[in-house]
Structure 1
Amino acid sequence: MVWKRSPKVIALLSGLGDGTIAATHEGLDTLPGRATEHLRALMQHHQLLPPRDRWLPRFEQWIEMKLDGLPAEVARPARHFATWHQLRRIREIADDGHDTQPSARSAKQEITETIKFLTWLHQTHARTIASCTQYDVDQWIATGPTTRHAIRTFLVVCKRDKLNTTVALGHRAARTSPELTQDQRIAWIGELVTGTSETLSYRVAGILILLYAQPLKAVVRLRREAVLDGVPMTIAFGTHPVDVPEPFADLVRQLLRHRTNLRITGEDTPWLFPGRHADTHMFPDTVMHRLRKIGMSNLGARNSALNDLVIECPPPIVADALGYSHQVAFHHAELAGETWARYAGRTIRQP
């Protein structure tokens, strides 16, 4: 195998062979890198190691690197926020068996923006979070990009834990909601069904967004058994399966026969979109970047699909079929100009 020729792989395998690296998760952690993670995934797949969330240890290491070298006035509240709120929350997600990658990514942005704010507060006004004023918060938000609103969770934690009970920041409402026109949506469906702008797996992923308004994290987690190749073909996203029209159904059949990365994951992998490590699926970001490269807006496609679907069908039926909450489905119905206010299945109270 070409993989074994790498000096890093040789060092890793030699260390495991002579015992200098323990054949445990903790042992593998001493030699971080892609080769180590690939071997870890293989050992977990073959039950030589117990399952372990792959993102949680990386997040723990990231926190330590991010806080290293910061002034105490910045590091202390940042560590409090990172460990007692963010890390605790992500550990709970991991303990429940859910994917921690999206939460870890969001937490990193909030921690990064918090450190920027605390550094500015310390360097510009010689103040800490304990002496921070509402004017400081307002000035910080008003003089920078919208990403600065990510400090809101930090301020909520500060109030809860009595680090500072006098400052606050409201939710930021997006001014616009990306959306494709119906002509653009139909054109993208046609391109991905018949075109050659991308490989098969990314074309199928894109159509799942355009037809069924599926979030990328739901797309990449689809399992083979979610697809039933009957007459017609159906696919399950929520509580009941939905039809898959031709010629898209034929693309799905091709994907089932020619899934990517099977040499790495093995033929028995349950994922419709296998990843580059044993027993893993593709990462949502990988699909997002590939679709973005050909010009397709993931969020715009999803909003347009959902807005169209809730006009054609009652929102609760759409929500149950596609894995959305009823509240989200009714929200999109109202945005699309169809309230369905008197539909018998509606259970959401008016504000």
Structure 2
Amino acid sequence: MVLIAHIGGRRTCGPCAGHPDPYACPRCGGSSSPLTGDLCDRFAVAHLLDGLLHDLPPGPAAQLAPLREARMAAEHPRTVLTWLRTSASARLLHETAACGQLLTHVDLDTVAGSGRGAAQSTDYLRGLLVAFGILPPRDEHLAAIERHLARTLTRHPKYAMLLGPYVRWSVMPRARRRATRSASTRGRARWAYTRINTAVALLEHLASLDLTLSEATQLENERWLAAGPSTRYEVRDFLVCTARRGHSDDLLVPHRGKAEAEGIDEDTHWDLLQQCLHDECLPLDVRVAGSLLLLFGQHLTHIITLTTGHLDHQDSHQTIRLDSTPIRLPQPLATLLTRLIDQQPRQGWRGNTPGTWLFPGSRPGTHRSVSSLARALTEHGIPIRASRATVLVQLAQEMPPAVLAPLLGLHVITALHWRRRAATDWTAYLQARQRALADRRPPSGP
């Protein structure tokens, strides 16, 4: 292993420690920066990578060759050096490849199942291998649903005949259909987890009463729903599926109610939008995300999955495609998006791995998380749900659902909902306006 020595507070590689010029590296043939020592870091990276791949069988060594070339050309070699020396995912890479077989997603899934720490290291390594084309890309959130089902059936094998078909023929098909419309997010996996977990909770409750699902009554079902959190109503999907297959009676579960988001007043809405478009004190990512929220009512799960492929130029104007219809961007937002792509600092793994996300995440090849972006917007005074409700009501007043849905990436039923709400809000506004005018009207007669 190449050792890094400090000479007068400057970083240089081990072979250069006795060299007359501490910034000249005889191995790499160049001069290292007196502040960063990049070339010496790069030389150390090459040495460690050679050691990592030297003892591997020919198959895995050839498979990982693109990783070596990419790591050697990394913009921030010190990040790579730190990863090689201290990261559990780097050790995992060597251990799995040393087994003599080409790495696959199944191999990494097996390692991930051994514990939470292993799962985190595996996810990081998987993202790195996919980013450089060593492993083919796959929808990790769909794979996570299948792994969750496998873990659940391992703990509760007696429910396999009920849970297995339910997930494979109801939960997974809907998750796949959603994946064809937009990139997956962690929320999609959590949506499936909730349905699987509530189904298990109901079955466990019935087992505690010495009942099977086929013996459950509507009264017992309602008692269980009333005694727990509102997430229990997500069991409706499971019971519909089991009733169709003859495993239970037709037990009724009402749809889980959702409170309507309150909007913000028009002046506040436009003030926030102007702030996002023109205030240089706001972070660039907050300005772009806030503008997409305040202009187009985009959900954060959609904003974080936008890539450079969603942007285009038509007739010298920049456009964005939120679904199937390109939308011409106003000039302030078009300029912000260009700056976000070209000028945003790319540090660490963001600078060392390829990617097209407009909002890249901290792990290789991933986009930013919803929770992280939500915190950033909230910290800068942008109310997310209220802003989105205001925008969608305004747009639904101006466009029919058949136009609004493909423009913003909404389901037609969702667009119809916003249309109905817009009509309700407009009627309430007119009534309030008439009352206000009547109150100010002077009395008639002497």
TM-score, scaled to structure 1? 0.80
Q: Which residue number in structure 1 is paired with residue 86 of structure 2? A: 6
Shift of 1:191: 4.1
Q: Hey, what's the Cα distance between the residues in 2 that align with 1:56 and 1:314?
A: 34
Judged with a 3 Å threshold, the aligned counterparts in structure 2 of structure 1 residues 268 and 197 are, in CA distance, closer, same or farther, namely same
Judged with a 3 Å threshold, the aligned counterparts in structure 2 of structure 1 residues 186 and 47 are, in CA distance, closer, same or farther, namely same
What amino acid is the match of 2:141? W
**Aligned 8 A contact 1:204 1:252 in 2:** yes
Shift of 1:149: 0.9
| Residue 250 of structure 2, aligned match among 137, 144, 166 | 166
* Farther off after superposition, 95-104 or 289-298: 95-104
What amino acid is the match of 1:13? L
| Residue 213 of structure 2, aligned match among 124, 129, 134 | 129
Q: Which residue number in structure 2 is paired with residue 106 of structure 1? A: 191
**Aligned 8 A contact 2:317 2:329 in 1:** yes
Q: Which residue number in structure 1 is paired with residue 239 of structure 2? A: 155
2:138 paired with 1:52: yes
Q: Which residue number in structure 1 is paired with residue 74 of structure 2? A: none
**Aligned 8 A contact 1:56 1:100 in 2:** no
Report the secondary structure of 1:234's partner residue.
strand
Q: Which residue number in structure 2 is paired with residue 345 of structure 1? A: none
Shift of 1:283: 3.5
What amino acid is the match of 2:342? R
**Aligned 8 A contact 2:145 2:192 in 1:** no
Q: Hey, what's the Cα distance between the residues in 1 that align with 2:371 and 2:94?
A: 34
2:391 paired with 1:311: no
List alignment gaps of at least 5 residues for structure 1.
341-351
Judged with a 3 Å threshold, the aligned counterparts in structure 2 of structure 1 residues 103 and 267 are, in CA distance, closer, same or farther, namely closer
**Aligned 8 A contact 1:178 1:303 in 2:** yes
Matches within 5 A, 1:186-265: 186-194=270-278, 199-228=283-312, 232-259=317-344, 261=346, 264=349
* Farther off after superposition, 35-44 or 223-232: 223-232
2:171 paired with 1:86: yes
Shift of 1:308: 0.8
2:152 paired with 1:66: yes
Q: Hey, what's the Cα distance between the residues in 1 that align with 2:221 and 2:87?
A: 50
**Aligned 8 A contact 1:15 1:21 in 2:** no
Report the secondary structure of 2:111's partner residue.
coil
Judged with a 3 Å threshold, the aligned counterparts in structure 2 of structure 1 residues 200 and 319 are, in CA distance, closer, same or farther, namely same
Shift of 1:80: 4.8
Q: RMSD value over aligned CA atoms?
A: 3.5
Instruction: Map Cα deviations across residues 22-61 of structure 1 (whole Å, 9 max, x no partner).
Output: 5222222343333332332232233222222222333233
Judged with a 3 Å threshold, the aligned counterparts in structure 2 of structure 1 residues 53 and 298 are, in CA distance, closer, same or farther, namely same
**Aligned 8 A contact 2:307 2:358 in 1:** yes
| Residue 103 of structure 2, aligned match among 18, 23, 37 | 23
Shift of 1:108: 0.4
* Farther off after superposition, 153-162 or 307-316: 307-316
Q: Which residue number in structure 1 is paired with residue 203 of structure 2? A: 118
Q: Which has the larger radius of gyration?
A: 2
2:261 paired with 1:177: yes
Shift of 1:147: 1.4
Instruction: Map Cα deviations across residues 302-349 of structure 1 (whole Å, 9 max, x no partner).
Output: 221111122234444333332334443343222112899xxxxxxxxx
Judged with a 3 Å threshold, the aligned counterparts in structure 2 of structure 1 residues 96 and 200 are, in CA distance, closer, same or farther, namely closer
**Aligned 8 A contact 1:134 1:167 in 2:** yes
**Aligned 8 A contact 2:294 2:387 in 1:** yes
Q: Which residue number in structure 2 is paired with residue 347 of structure 1? A: none
Judged with a 3 Å threshold, the aligned counterparts in structure 2 of structure 1 residues 202 and 82 are, in CA distance, closer, same or farther, namely same
Judged with a 3 Å threshold, the aligned counterparts in structure 2 of structure 1 residues 70 and 45 are, in CA distance, closer, same or farther, namely closer
Judged with a 3 Å threshold, the aligned counterparts in structure 2 of structure 1 residues 120 and 248 are, in CA distance, closer, same or farther, namely same
* Farther off after superposition, 48-57 or 89-98: 89-98
What amino acid is the match of 2:341? L
Judged with a 3 Å threshold, the aligned counterparts in structure 2 of structure 1 residues 129 and 291 are, in CA distance, closer, same or farther, namely farther
Q: Which residue number in structure 2 is paired with residue 40 of structure 1? A: 126
Q: Hey, what's the Cα distance between the residues in 2 that align with 1:256 and 1:7?
A: 29
**Aligned 8 A contact 2:312 2:319 in 1:** yes
**Aligned 8 A contact 1:311 1:333 in 2:** yes
Q: Hey, what's the Cα distance between the residues in 1 that align with 2:392 and 2:228?
A: 33
TM-score, scaled to structure 2? 0.65
2:374 paired with 1:288: yes
Report the secondary structure of 1:337's partner residue.
helix
Q: Which residue number in structure 1 is paired with residue 227 of structure 2? A: 143
2:419 paired with 1:333: yes
Q: Hey, what's the Cα distance between the residues in 1 that align with 2:343 and 2:249?
A: 57
Judged with a 3 Å threshold, the aligned counterparts in structure 2 of structure 1 residues 76 and 296 are, in CA distance, closer, same or farther, namely farther
Judged with a 3 Å threshold, the aligned counterparts in structure 2 of structure 1 residues 101 and 252 are, in CA distance, closer, same or farther, namely same
Judged with a 3 Å threshold, the aligned counterparts in structure 2 of structure 1 residues 337 and 324 are, in CA distance, closer, same or farther, namely same
* Farther off after superposition, 201-210 or 252-261: 252-261
Shift of 1:15: 1.4
* Farther off after superposition, 224-233 or 127-136: 224-233
Aligned identity (percent) is 27
Shift of 1:295: 5.4
